[in-house]
């Protein structure tokens, strides 16, 4: 079904052209109520049960802005190093589409609440790229359409559509970058890193969970190419609703290759919206983009201007948390790991989990080892986020403590974690139920060691001759005999002791 | 002030989803011209010292606390809908075959 466009290789595209990007990110705020009325924003409600005359656009209803919505917008603006407007208004964006019952979206046009900022983002290798922010403005989400009668729920070919307006009016903050220039071949990576950093920031501010898979954060990728050495921007395409970090990177990459193919074939890029396809990472043509003037924006007469006092703005500035990139850099130093390792921790969504595990008493290296090793593997296998695994940082910290006390070795600790994940209880309960304690009975351990030495006289001789490295084989034999329940370090000590060798 | 062209009226018609006949384009072009001319007179009166206004009252920062208030029931919400299905507003085909 997907129309295949001609593509040139990514390398060839970059050899001839310089990409310029603009990213528009919509964040659904986590307020309890909608932006302009008191309807609940709770997810999962039955259709059209969280609507009122205001969000349905019924005659005679009047909107009133949500104070927390404005406060969140200012916080986001401040965290993005923006100026905050002294005075600004809402505007009506008029369009005919049934996802807004009012026939317009209440948004902001030429007077955004926050403007002219930047966000520094770190790439995989630690290089920091500054993305300039054009503006962040307040608006509202649209209702949810279900298209009936067409193929796979698509709007094309549908006989009619059904509308649920529960989502209509939920506060959105749209964050728009200035044109991102100079990223070159790293443009797709910059796009991804920017959206990732923005997501961290939004979460740190506590204004939204910014879960992309839930549509709480959505990205539109504008991209154009210009021949190397030219200043003027090429015509852009706008790929809508790219809803995962990986997709943001893929969409940018695909559009670079597609644009390059069109341009180098002597064609012209049409200014249009594009749809992104998760299955193969391609984009297809959507509608021809309307010009801003076609929306006939005008100041919203039903809402009064928002004029945040400087006192309020400074109060909010004082509440800003440590910014994610600064915090990561601090933690990276505390944990003594590289940029690249920290990036992996970030990508795995493990930072807060490791911090909580350390707070619960575990050494940082141990906490990181479990979350980034065994648990990351499990989260991949099960296809769930790390934080969604049924194990708490406190439980992981307890496992670390049991290992430190010598009651568990690594192998047993893995089994304990497996038990916790399987719902068998806290680490101590799993140890009891599964009988997983390390064999610390010196007598039993000594017997196993003697047996291993007797059974492997050749190896024992080598060790006696000073080849201490050979002890590993005997340790292995003892571990096997004790079914992994021995403390390997102690076993090694006993072997060397018995063979009269210094470790 | 330049006159409103037929093309501009046709474009407005498309944005408003109005089907306009040829003679209507001419007719409305003249009318719109007059209306815009009349409104434009306001800017002759408003000098630099008169700020543009979009609200009759000199108010700012009217906000409400983020507290949930009762919504309509789905039945009430849908009571004025010309058509409904699956507790949702039913609307005609949005895009034709293209």
Ordered domains of chain B (ranges, CATH): 1-46 (1.10.20.60)
Could you say which of A33, A97, A159 has the minimum Cβ distance to residue B67?
Answer: A33
Distance CA A56, CA A149 (A): 25
CB contact under 8 A, A157 and B91: no
pTM equals 0.80
Helix axes A187-205, A339-347, angle to 10 degrees: 70
Question: Which residues belong to CATH 1.10.10 in chain A?
Answer: 442-498
> Going residue by residue through chain B (98 aa), what tens digit of pLDDT does each one get?
458 899 999 998 888 778 899 999 999 999 999 998 888 888 888 778 887 777 778 899 999 999 999 999 999 999 999 999 999 999 998 775 44
| A367 to chain B, closest Cα gap in Å | 39
Distance CA A269, CA A262 (A): 7
Asked if A423 is an interface residue toward chain B (Cβ–Cβ < 8 A), one would say no
Q: Which residues of A, range 335-364, sit inside 8 Å of B by Cβ?
A: none
Asked if A154 is an interface residue toward chain B (Cβ–Cβ < 8 A), one would say no
Contacting residues of B for A37, CB less than 8 Å apart: 69
Burial profile B58-82: b = 16 or more Cβ within 10 angstroms, e = fewer = eebeebbebeeeebbebeebbeebe
Q: So what's the ipTM on this one? A: 0.79
Q: Which of B39, B53, B68, B92 to mutate to test the interface with A (most CBs of A within 10 A)?
A: B68
Pairing of strands A282-288, A298-299: unpaired
**What mean pLDDT is predicted for residues A98-123?**
95
Contacting residues of A for B80, CB less than 8 Å apart: 58
- What pLDDT does residue A459 have? 87
CB contact under 8 A, A165 and B89: yes
| B45 to chain A, closest Cα gap in Å | 20
**What mean pLDDT is predicted for residues A248-264?**
96
pLDDT digits (tens, 9 = 90+) for A38-81: 999 999 999 999 999 999 999 899 999 999 999 999 999 999 99
A38 Cβ contact partners less than 8 Å away, ≥ 6 residues apart: A52, B64, B67, B68, B69, B70
Could you say which of A51, A58, A148 has the minimum Cβ distance to residue B71?
Answer: A51
Contacting residues of B for A307, CB less than 8 Å apart: 60-61
B31 Cβ contact partners less than 8 Å away, ≥ 6 residues apart: none
- What pLDDT does residue A339 have? 87
Minimum Cα–Cα distance from B16: chain A residue: A96
Distance CA A57, CA A59 (A): 6
- What pLDDT does residue B98 have? 43
Reply yes or no on whether the pLDDT at A334 is more than 80: yes
CA distances from A163 to A54, B21, B68, B70, B89 (A): 16, 32, 22, 21, 5
Reply yes or no on whether the pLDDT at A460 is more than 50: yes
Pairing of strands B63-64, A65-66: parallel
Reply yes or no on whether the pLDDT at A474 is more than 80: yes
Which pair of tokens denotes residue A49? 């049960």
Asked if B76 is an interface residue toward chain A (Cβ–Cβ < 8 A), one would say no
Asked if A277 is an interface residue toward chain B (Cβ–Cβ < 8 A), one would say no
Asked if B71 is an interface residue toward chain A (Cβ–Cβ < 8 A), one would say yes
Could you tell me the end-to-end alpha-carbon distance of chain A, in angstroms, rounded to an integer? Answer: 68
Reply yes or no on whether the pLDDT at A253 is more than 90: yes
The HSE-up count of residue A146 (CA atoms within 13 Å, CB side) is: 13
Asked if A430 is an interface residue toward chain B (Cβ–Cβ < 8 A), one would say no
> H-helix or E-strand containing A73?
helix A67-79
Contacting residues of B for A98, CB less than 8 Å apart: 89, 91, 94
Reply yes or no on whether the pLDDT at A289 is more than 80: no
Residues forming a β-bridge with A175:
A25, A136
Distance CA A85, CA A119 (A): 19
Minimum Cα–Cα distance from B98: chain A residue: A156
pLDDT digits (tens, 9 = 90+) for A161-180: 999 999 999 999 999 999 99
Q: Which of B12, B16, B64 to mutate to test the interface with A (most CBs of A within 10 A)?
A: B64
| B54 to chain A, closest Cα gap in Å | 6
- What pLDDT does residue A292 have? 62
Could you tell me the end-to-end alpha-carbon distance of chain B, in angstroms, rounded to an integer? Answer: 39
CB contact under 8 A, A299 and B54: yes
- What pLDDT does residue B25 have? 92
Could you say which of B17, B63, B71 has the minimum Cβ distance to residue A65?
Answer: B63
Locus of tokens 């040139």? A8
Contacting residues of A for B64, CB less than 8 Å apart: 38, 64-67
Asked if B41 is an interface residue toward chain A (Cβ–Cβ < 8 A), one would say no
Contacting residues of B for A162, CB less than 8 Å apart: 85-86, 88-91
Contacting residues of A for B85, CB less than 8 Å apart: 148, 162
Instruction: Tell me phi and psi for residue A242, to 5 degrees.
Output: -95, 115
- What pLDDT does residue B96 have? 58
% of chain A with per-residue pLDDT over 70: 96
- What pLDDT does residue A307 have? 96
Asked if A11 is an interface residue toward chain B (Cβ–Cβ < 8 A), one would say no
Across the A:B interface, residue pairs with CB atoms under 8 Å apart total: 136
Burial profile A424-445: b = 16 or more Cβ within 10 angstroms, e = fewer = eebbeebbeeeebebbeeeeeb
- What pLDDT does residue A483 have? 79
% of chain A with per-residue pLDDT over 90: 68
List, as one string, the DSSP characters of A218-252.
EEEEEEEEEETT--S----EEEEEE-SHHHHHHHH
Which pair of tokens denotes residue A330? 């601090």
Closest residue by Cα to residue A80 from A47, A54, A117: A117
- What pLDDT does residue A480 have? 84
pLDDT digits (tens, 9 = 90+) for A419-446: 999 999 999 999 888 887 777 677 778 8
Reply yes or no on whether the pLDDT at A4 is more than 70: no
CB contact under 8 A, A160 and B55: no
> H-helix or E-strand containing A370?
helix A364-370
Could you say which of B66, B88, B91 has the minimum Cβ distance to residue A47?
Answer: B88
Cα angle: A323, vertex A328, A331; to 5 degrees: 125
The class (CATH top level) of A442-498 is mainly alpha
pLDDT digits (tens, 9 = 90+) for A390-404: 999 999 999 999 988
């Amino acid at each position: 079904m997907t129309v295949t466009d001609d593509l040139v290789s990514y390398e060839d595209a970059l050899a001839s052209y310089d990409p310029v990007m603009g990213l528009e990110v919509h964040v659904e705020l986590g307020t309890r109520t909608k932006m302009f009325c008191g309807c609940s924003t709770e997810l999962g409600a039955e259709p059209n049960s969280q609507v009122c005359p205001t969000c349905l656009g019924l005659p005679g209803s009047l909107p009133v802005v949500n104070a927390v919505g404005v406060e969140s917008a200012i916080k986001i603006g401040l965290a993005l190093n923006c100026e905050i407007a002294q005075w600004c208004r809402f505007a009506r964006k008029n369009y005919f589409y049934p996802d807004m019952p009012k026939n317009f979206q209440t948004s902001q046009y030429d007077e955004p609440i926050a403007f002219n900022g930047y966000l520094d983002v770190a790439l995989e290798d630690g290089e920091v790229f500054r993305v300039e922010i054009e503006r962040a403005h307040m608006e509202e989400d649209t209702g949810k359409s279900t298209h009936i009668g067409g193929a796979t729920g698509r709007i094309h070919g549908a006989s009619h559509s059904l509308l649920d307006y529960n989502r209509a009016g939920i506060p959105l903050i749209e964050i728009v970058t200035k044109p991102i220039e100079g990223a070159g071949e790293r443009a797709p990576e910059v796009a991804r890193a920017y959206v990732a950093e923005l997501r961290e920031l939004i979460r740190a501010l506590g204004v939204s969970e910014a879960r992309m898979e839930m549509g709480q954060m959505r990205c539109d990728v504008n991209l154009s190419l210009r021949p190397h050495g030219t200043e003027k921007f090429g015509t852009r395409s706008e790929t809508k609703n790219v809803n995962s970090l990986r997709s943001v990177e893929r969409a940018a990459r695909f559009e670079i290759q597609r644009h390059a193919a069109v341009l180098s074939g002597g064609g012209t890029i049409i200014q249009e919206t594009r749809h992104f396809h998760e299955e193969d990472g391609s984009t297809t043509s959507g509608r021809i983009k309307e010009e801003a003037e076609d929306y006939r924006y005008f100041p919203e007469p039903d809402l009064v201007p928002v004029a945040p006092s400087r006192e309020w703005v400074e109060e909010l500035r004082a509440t800003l948390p440590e910014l994610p990139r600064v915090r990561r850099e601090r933690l990276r130093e505390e944990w003594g790991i590289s940029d690249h390792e920290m990036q992996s921790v970030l990508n795995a969504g493990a930072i807060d989990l490791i911090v909580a595990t350390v707070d619960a008493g575990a050494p940082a290296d141990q906490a990181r080892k479990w979350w980034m090793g065994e648990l990351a593997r499990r989260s991949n296998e099960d296809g769930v986020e790390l934080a969604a695994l049924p194990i708490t940082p406190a439980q992981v910290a307890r496992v670390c403590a049991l290992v430190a006390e010598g009651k568990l070795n690594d192998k047993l600790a893995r089994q304990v974690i497996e038990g916790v994940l399987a719902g068998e209880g806290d680490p101590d309960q799993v140890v009891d139920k599964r009988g997983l304690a390390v064999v610390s009975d010196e007598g039993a351990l000594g017997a196993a060691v003697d047996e291993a030495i007797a059974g492997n006289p050749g190896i024992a001789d080598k060790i006696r001759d000073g080849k201490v490295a050979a002890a590993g084989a005997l340790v292995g034999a003892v571990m096997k005999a004790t079914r992994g329940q021995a403390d390997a370090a102690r076993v090694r000590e006993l072997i060397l002791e018995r063979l009269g060798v210094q470790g | 002030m330049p006159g409103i062209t037929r093309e501009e009226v046709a474009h407005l018609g498309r944005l408003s989803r109005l089907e306009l006949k040829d003679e209507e384009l001419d007719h409305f072009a003249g009318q719109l011209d007059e209306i815009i001319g009349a409104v434009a007179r306001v800017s002759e009166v408003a000098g630099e010292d008169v700020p543009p206004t979009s609200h009759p009252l000199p108010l700012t920062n009217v906000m409400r606390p983020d507290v949930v208030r009762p919504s309509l029931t789905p039945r009430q919400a849908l009571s004025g809908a010309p058509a409904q299905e699956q507790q949702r507003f039913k609307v005609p085909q949005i895009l034709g075959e293209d």
